[in-house]
Amino acid sequence: MAHLIFDIGNTRSKMAIMEHGNMLEQMVMEDAPKVIANLCRRYNVDKAIASVVGHQPDFAKLLPEYLYACFHQLSYNSILPITMDYDTPQTLGMDRVASAVGARILCPEGALVIVDAGSCITVDLLDDNNCFRGGAILPGIQMRFRAMHDFTDALPQVALSPDERKGLVDTPITGNSTRTSLIAGVCNASLFEIEGFMHEYSKRYPNVKLFLTGGDAVFFANRLFFPNFANSDLMYIGLDKILELNVIV
């Protein structure tokens, strides 16, 4: 049986089909019950889970009745395969926890740092006792470019080209134009921040491993000096595991 996974983010909403921990299909979320019903029939879906950070959909209307009965929305009250040490779990974006669970499935032992590079960059620690410790939230690459444009009179709006985002073009350390100076500042600062976190975590956990996920994961994976594992499906892998623990059919 396959599982339907919803990722409702701040800027994008997606859904995916997972089976035995493997991604079968991923797509932009359709607010159309018929589309979802057809997808469920095609893959013989028997359970569903959602991570909601953005707007709350009405899943009772979106999902077929049989599937809504086997639906779980991730929250800090969900049963998890890891523990949490976080003072305000009710304010925690649980997508961060799902990604940590996904990383743990791929790497069963040791301390892990999970970097989700999207609209914001989150840096989270899962320690060697399997406890989610929280971490840091930083502005993402595009947010930094936009902030410098919006809060100044003269700086242009900059966006990385597809080749720049994929790491096929070197990031300058010294810009020789306004555009390349902005890229040098934003991109290198983001890289240095992640490397700085890893340097500090390495002092406490000498064998700590770095997992990268999110839209800009490839950008960082190709530029960081610290060894890393880039996997855009971390959260889906984690949600799939959490669903198994919370919905028994």
Half-sphere exposure of residue 146: CA atoms within 13 angstroms, side-chain side? 7
Using DSSP, state whether 83 is helix, strand or coil.
strand
The catalytic residue among 46, 87, 95, 240 is: 95
Q: Is 95 a catalytic residue?
A: yes
Are the CB atoms for 212 and 220 separated by under 8 Å? yes
Q: 27-53 burial string, b = 16+ CB within 10 Å, else e?
A: eebeeeeeebeebbeebebebbbbbbb
Q: In DSSP terms, which residues pair with 117 in a beta bridge?
A: 121
Are the CB atoms for 127 and 205 separated by under 8 Å? yes
Which of these, 169, 174, 224, lies nearest to 199 by C-alpha position? 224
Q: How far apart are CA 80 and CA 62, in angstroms?
A: 26
Where in the sequence numbering do the catalytic residues fall? 95
